[in-house]
Structure 1
Amino acid sequence: MRNKKQLLIEQLDQKLKPFQKTEIVLVPDKGWIHTIRTTLNMTMAQLGDKLGITKQGVKKIEESEAKGSISINSLKEVGNVLELKLVYGFVPKEGTIDNLISLKAEKLARKIVLRTNQNMKLEDQGISDEKIKASIIDLANDIKREMRKSLWD
């Protein structure tokens, strides 16, 4: 049976699915504002008029976007005057949110199991490699199911 957390993860993965292709999120070197403005054959002065700022103000906005220091509100405002909508979000670097959680859970489980096994070896009570692998899988599944906060430490 899926729990509420697993259902939320699945729903988020579904929402992010269209954005998982790397090509979709590549930002042009000079930024989207400059790229769109020049593609539309719009001058800085024309965009400035729409925004109620000078062409020097437009230049600052384009430079701040290219540097990555522009605010989301500024991006929305430019989008609105260009009759475009801003699309904003986070997409896993590889795979899905569920995969990300699985990898983190396995990494944490491996750390815990191997540390515990090391302590047991010191007491001459170590376990076999097969048992270690099985323990890691079991613990990773528990960690994932519980969505422990320690997953993100």
Structure 2
Amino acid sequence: MSNRTELAAVARRRLDQRFAALDLAALSPRPPRGWVRAIRDALGLTVRQFGARLGKSHSTVVALEQGEVAGTLTLAGLQKAAEALDCTLHYVLVPNRPLAAMVRDRARAVAEARLAPIDHTMRLENQGLSDADLAAELDRLTEDYARRGGRRLWDAL
């Protein structure tokens, strides 16, 4: 296994551990009017007062809050809003399932795609593997591809 592959595997394990430790229930879903508005309201700040802290106009603050809800607010804008609210912005992409599982599933798909035409040809020549041998070879290839990982794993099939 190459050094790059080993580093990627270590990074996957560490990220999976960090994601597993997150309390996603406390973070989701985003409040209906967005985090900026929720915190501003909880602090009792008016749009005008918040705008003064941001150094922005009333209409800009309204657009900022609407932009968060619409998903068009930039990270830079959200960072400035967080600072004006005396908050810390935490930006994180949370995978829907462990990264290791994503790599293993992709390795399985690659193994299936590469093994299928070979198996088909061998069966046409009456040299096909038994179902058990085919399953064992598929498992072996999957583990090999998952272990090696790398960029080629994600090329189109």
Number of paired residues? 152
Mapping of 1:42-81 within 5 angstroms?
42-81=45-84
Counterpart pick for 1:32 among 6, 30, 35: 35
Instruction: Measure how far apart 1:7 and its partner are.
Output: 1.6
Distance 2:144 2:25 in 1: 32
Structure 1 vs Structure 2: percent identity of aligned residues?
26
Distance 1:150 1:124 in 2: 32
Mapping of 1:66-145 within 5 angstroms?
66-94=69-97, 96-145=98-147
For residues 50-80 of structure 1, what are the alpha-carbon distances to aligned partners after superposition, in whole Å with 9 as ceiling and x for unaligned? Answer: 0101111110001111111111011111111
Distance 2:24 2:131 in 1: 38
Gaps in structure 1 of 5+ consecutive residues: none
RMSD: 2.0
Structure 1-normalised TM-score?
Answer: 0.88
Instruction: Measure how far apart 1:87 and its partner are.
Output: 0.9
Instruction: Measure how far apart 1:4 and its partner are.
Output: 3.0
Compared CA separation, residues 23 and 122, structure 1 to 2 (3 A) = farther
Q: Residue 20 of structure 1 contacts residue 91 of structure 1 at CA under 8 Å; is this kept in 2? A: no
**Quick one: higher RCO (CA 8 Å, sep 6+), 1 or 2?**
2
Compared CA separation, residues 59 and 32, structure 1 to 2 (3 A) = same
